[in-house]
Structure 1
Amino acid sequence: MELIHRNLAIGIHDALQETFFEKNKYADKVIERLLKAHRKWGSQDRAVVSEIFYNIIRWKRRLEYYMGESVKPDNVYKLIVAYCLYSKTNYKRFEEFEGIKIADITTKLKKGTVPTKSIEYSIPEWLAETLEKELGPIWEKEMKALNEQAPTVLRANSLKTSAKELISDLAVENVVAYTVKNYPDAVQLEEKKNVFLTTAFKDGLFEVQDATSQKIGYFLDVKEGQRVVDVCAGAGGKTLHLAALMGNKGQIIALDIYEWKLAELKRRAKRAGAHNIETRMISDNKVIKRLHETADRLLIDAPCSGLGVLKRNPDSKWKIDQAFIDRIKKEQQQIIQDYSKILKKGGKMVYATCSILPSENNEQVAEFLKNNPDYKLIKDEKIMPSQGYDGFYMALIERLA
């Protein structure tokens, strides 16, 4: 059993408070700041803090049931105690935190059952209803998979190395990894490590990118010398993969509405040795209109609910609601309608999301095709979380000549 000392519990407490009760604070950034602020913590302590922090976020609804109340700013320690008892973690000196009635929690824990599926899978009631409505009987299997810890997968940067060479380079730095079947550039870590400290990372030999996310680059079927536009590029994970698949030949125009994300993309591109990427901020509609009918390939990695990536972003389920999903679906339809005009006649585009809801995926594509008969679906694919990695949807669409 792991032992959580008081100073680690205080760190977890503060990080949870920030995540749950401060607007626009996301778990990945919160834990990153916490660990940077406590550089003296050993590697084992850092791993324990990170694991417990994410697991408490993941199981919040069930832990609240054991607590007998919803978590509030003044009872976050009780949430930590509930998790420690639930996971049989040896928590040192419970009595140091006042107001925690351990007997109340252990009574419910001993019963071993919970009254509803939403509590069992630790999700809001509305989300359980939405998943059941859209996915049918498989929703429980998928939600069970989404409550598992995500593996760490890297994408070997083929501009500089291969998957097998990367595995050898990482082994020198005591990072054990292996290849992933059917994903040519993917390398999976045997256990979580801070790979950003490695020489291999600093030399631009890899990016952290889930296996199914890597599939999108191949799905777009890019060729050397083409003009490719990535309209929702963000910080550029998929953009960099496209540059590698194109062997740095041709042109990639990376668009986003956030300048800071494009600045991060530039920094990553420099490290990766990707020289065929040009960034443009979408400041107004003119930016899009100037690109009409100019792209051989178009990537629309649309904003979405993110329900396919709850393994790595469990706090998302507490930050969104049905109204958000309804809004994002309207935004998706507007994006695919407006940005599809960038594609040349005879060109191909991919519409992709990291959602598992049909209403954000194939139903959006069907609606677009119904309203735009000069486009046709070539193929689509959905990858579900129960298959081992993130849940994604991708559709390859051609603009007819």
Structure 2
Amino acid sequence: MTPAARLAAAAAIIDSISQGRQPADAVLKAWSQQNRYAGSGDRRAIAERVYQVLRARGRLSAFMGGRQDGRALIVGALSLLDGATLEEIEGLYNGEGYGPRPLSKHERGRIMAHEDAADLAEVALPDFVTADLKAVHGDRWRDEVEALSGRAPVDLRVNGLRATIEEVEAELRGAGLSPQRTELSGWGLRLDAEPAPNVQPLDGFQNGHFEIQDEASQVVGWLSGAFPGATVVDYCAGGGGKTLGLVQAMQGQGALIACDVSAKRLDNVKPRLARAGVEADLRLLGTNGGGVEDLNGQADVVFVDAPCSGSGAWRRRPEDSWRLTAEEVARLHALQLRILGQATKLVRPGGRLAYVTCSVLGAENEATAAAFEAAHADFKPVPIADAAHSADLTEAGRERLTALAQGNRLRLSPAATGTDGFFIALYERAA
């Protein structure tokens, strides 16, 4: 494919993503299957362009006078992000072959006006998201916006029940990769390469020696208080990534009960457990939390990774930032409180409750934690500093997390910790 044809294909894919609800990677995969003439280099270049545009969509739309179609956004990216001249862009937009049609008068005018990207931070994300980040971070809000628009690395969690971190490092280097140990998690390795490497075919992954898991996702598991021999309930297990981390924190000893309202999600956890060589009791929850009544007042730790906006992972799924609405965040806040109320029944006196989200929004994090605390006086806050003694954290990680914590609450983010955005609040049920 010519460079111009790649741009036309990327524009069509962006329009498909904008008009539907499918993840960007699924739309890209479908396009590749339907257009097998595109070689691996073409597919890679198109995917890189699509993600570049999705991460900068707000800025690019403003730069192009409010237009949000794929063609306009890519024209904006060539000028604003790539620094291409008008002549260079016109050389690509000439209507020849499978390339895009020539530039319009409006498009030429926007390119010639060329604004500074730094002036467009206010429109990089939806207005209500920017307002939330300003309220939470004050003068640092721009740093958070810029970091959320960046590219995420591939983080791995070494399964200490099956391999050492040194063994996994050696295998990855043997595969031509350059793993670096993570700062916070003692079991984390980071692959910061472009394009992102595919590690799933490696023997180490197939044999359960490591899992793909962001460092922040690892850290909240290490802070949960799970210990060998404990009864631990993963109340919203989802895909099971944190379930596996909790089993590792328990050193494979005790009872781990993984719950979810989706039977399909629980079924997807089974092969991951088998590959990691661990076991868990999988429970399907009813809409009102039914299905675990036998565990009422029995759990040492209840880990609630609540449904949320997923805004902490917008580096990986930038299309989601423009699908989220303020109304959806309000709905999620109410759902989070309801789920926490259900989960409290399972915690034994003196037991631990961990509230977790993969979100950067105060409306889902601090606001939900504050509302829970107001309604549940029998759950007292547990300082993050007390939980940071976990042996699964690095020494530097313990110090850093203690410094970042606000009492029993902790925020992790691309700007602050170089991780996905996560929030955790810890509580202990009164004896």
SS at structure 2 position matched to 1:196: coil
Tell me which moved more, 287-296 or 32-41.
32-41
The aligned counterpart of 2:208 is 204
Contact 1:121/1:144, CA 8 A, preserved across alignment: no
Q: Which of 22, 26, 50 is matched with 1:25 structurally?
A: 22
Normalising by structure 1, what TM-score?
Answer: 0.89
Is residue 184–residue 219 contact of structure 2 (8 Å, CA) maintained in 1?
Answer: no
Match of 2:331, as an amino acid? R
Cα distance between partner residues in 2 of 1:98 and 1:356? 38
Please state if 1:289 is matched with 2:293. yes
Q: What SS does the aligned partner of 2:160 have? A: coil
Q: SS of 1:194's equivalent? A: coil
Question: Residues 86 and 391 from structure 1, CA distance in 2 versus in 1: closer, same or farther, beyond 3 angstroms?
Answer: same
Of the three residues 213, 217, 234, the one matched with 2:238 is 234
Q: How does 1:1-400 map to 2 (within 5 A)?
A: 4=3, 6=5, 8-9=6-7, 11-22=9-20, 24-34=21-31, 44-72=41-69, 76-88=70-82, 93-96=92-95, 97=99, 99-101=101-103, 104-113=106-115, 121-191=123-193, 192-275=196-279, 277-285=280-288, 286-379=290-383, 380-387=409-416, 388-400=418-430
Instruction: Please state whether the residue corresponding to 1:183 is helix, strand or coil.
Output: coil
* Structure 1 residues 214 and 98: CA distance shift in structure 2, 3 A: closer
How far, CA to CA, are the matches of 1:243 and 1:384 in structure 2? 25
CA distance in 2, matches of 1:53, 1:386: 23
> How far did residue 329 of structure 1 move?
0.8
Aligned Cα RMSD in Å?
2.6
- Measured in 2, the distance between the counterparts of 1:116 and 1:126 equals 19
Q: State the AA in 2 paired with 1:146.
A: L
C-alpha displacement at 1:59, in angstroms?
Answer: 1.3
- Structure 1 residues 187 and 121, CA, compared in 2 at 3 Å: closer, same or farther? farther
Amino acid at match of 1:233: A
**Alpha-carbon deviation of 1:193?**
0.9
- Aligned-partner SS, 1:243: helix
Unaligned runs of 5+ in 2: 384-408
Question: Hey, what's the Cα distance between the residues in 2 that align with 1:280 and 1:30?
Answer: 32
Instruction: Provide the C-alpha distance between the structure 1 equivalents of 2:35 and 2:272, rounded to a whole number of angstroms.
Output: 26
* Gap change, CA 1:397 and 1:33, over 3 Å in 2: farther
Q: CA deviation at 1:304?
A: 1.6
> How many residues matched?
394
SS at match of 1:240: helix
Which residue identity is paired with 1:381? L
Q: CA offset at residue 53 of structure 1?
A: 1.3
Deviations along 1:357-382, whole A, 9 cap, x unmatched?
33322332222222222111112211
SS, match of residue 141 in structure 1? helix
1:68 and 1:105 in contact (8 A); partners too: no
Change (3 A) 1:348 1:78: same
Q: Provide the rounded CA distance (Å) in 1 between the counterparts of 2:35 and 2:202.
A: 20
CA deviation map 1:35-92 (0-9, x unaligned): 56667865544432322111111112222233334224xxx33433332333337777
Question: TM-score, normalization: structure 2?
Answer: 0.83
* Equivalent-residue separation in structure 1 for 2:138 and 2:9 (angstroms): 40
Q: How far apart are 1:306 and its partner, in Å?
A: 2.3
Alpha-carbon separation, structure 2, partners of 1:52 and 1:261:
31
Q: Hey, what's the Cα distance between the residues in 2 that align with 1:33 and 1:340?
A: 43
- Hey, what's the Cα distance between the residues in 2 that align with 1:200 and 1:39? 31
CA contact (8 A) 1:66 1:105 kept: no
SS of the residue 2:46 aligns to: helix
Output the CA distance in 2 between the equivalents of 1:186 and 1:42.
34
Secondary structure of the residue aligned to 1:296 is strand
